[in-house]
């Protein structure tokens, strides 16, 4: 029947509780803005609810949410009213960043978020979301070799940053 939703309210709430942090962090990685990331996260879950999409399993749902989040963030960055800028230029306030109990975790996350978009995305998906290089390649529509290369280059860049004892969040 048209207009019928395949997801119940309880299922939606459970999905939001499970994947809100993931969608928020991905959006934040693209936008560098708490407010924009929060808006994108809300929009993604609204799209999920309105889509009536039925998923094969939880991994399929998670992959769909990640793809929709990345597309929404890229779409926001392309809008004419939003000035293109590096995701973290001008980020002054600690309260604008996702919260981590451990200072080292926060510093590492900030360093990862300062990587260029192509490196930041693969690192986040691999280390924070536990996706394999093959799964990331499929999600991003690139070769597995490209994912492996980007991960290696990102790790090198992160090592250089830590070797210089730079704090990425200052």
Domains detected in the chain: 7-99 (1.10.1740), 101-170 (1.10.10.10)
Q: Give the pLDDT of residue 1.
A: 38
Q: Work out the number of other CB atoms within 10 angstroms of the CB of residue 13.
A: 11
**What is the Cα–Cα distance from 84 to 12, expressed in whole angstroms?**
33
Per-residue confidence in pLDDT tens, the chain, 170 aa: 344 446 788 888 999 999 999 999 899 888 878 888 999 999 999 999 888 888 889 999 999 999 999 999 888 877 755 544 444 444 444 444 555 566 667 777 778 878 888 898 899 888 888 889 998 998 888 999 999 999 999 999 888 877 665 555 44
Q: Summarize pLDDT for 72-88 with one digit per residue, the tens.
A: 988 887 775 554 444 44
Read off the pTM: 0.64
Any idea which residue has 């963030």 for tokens?
A: 73
Q: Give the pLDDT of residue 39.
A: 92
Q: Give the pLDDT of residue 23.
A: 94
Instruction: Output the furthest CA–CA distance in the chain (Å, rounded).
Output: 61
Question: 68: burial class by Cβ within 10 Å (0-12, 13-18, 19+)?
Answer: buried
- CB under 8 Å, gap of 24 or more: what pairs does 48-57 form? 48/7, 48/12, 48/15, 49/5, 49/7, 49/12, 50/5, 52/4, 52/5, 52/6, 52/7, 53/6, 54/6
- Which SS3 state, helix, strand or coil, does residue 2 take? coil
Run of H or E residues at 62: helix 58-78
């Amino acid at each position: 029947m048209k207009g019928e939703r395949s997801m119940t309210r309880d299922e939606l709430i459970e999905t939001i509780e499970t994947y809100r942090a993931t969608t928020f962090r991905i959006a934040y990685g693209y936008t560098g803005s708490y407010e924009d990331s929060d808006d994108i996260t809300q929009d993604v879950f609204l799209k999920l609810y309105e889509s009536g999409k039925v998923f094969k399993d939880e991994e399929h749902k998670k992959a769909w949410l990640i793809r929709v989040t990345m597309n929404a963030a890229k779409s926001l960055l392309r809008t004419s009213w939003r000035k293109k800028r590096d995701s973290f230029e001008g980020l002054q306030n600690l309260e604008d960043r996702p919260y981590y109990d451990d200072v080292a975790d926060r510093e590492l996350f900030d360093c990862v978020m300062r990587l260029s978009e192509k490196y930041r995305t693969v690192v986040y998906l691999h280390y924070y979301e536990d996706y394999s290089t093959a799964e990331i390649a499929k999600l991003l529509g690139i070769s597995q070799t490209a994912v492996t290369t980007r991960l290696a280059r990102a790790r090198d860049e992160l090592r250089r940053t830590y070797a210089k004892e730079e704090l990425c969040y200052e």
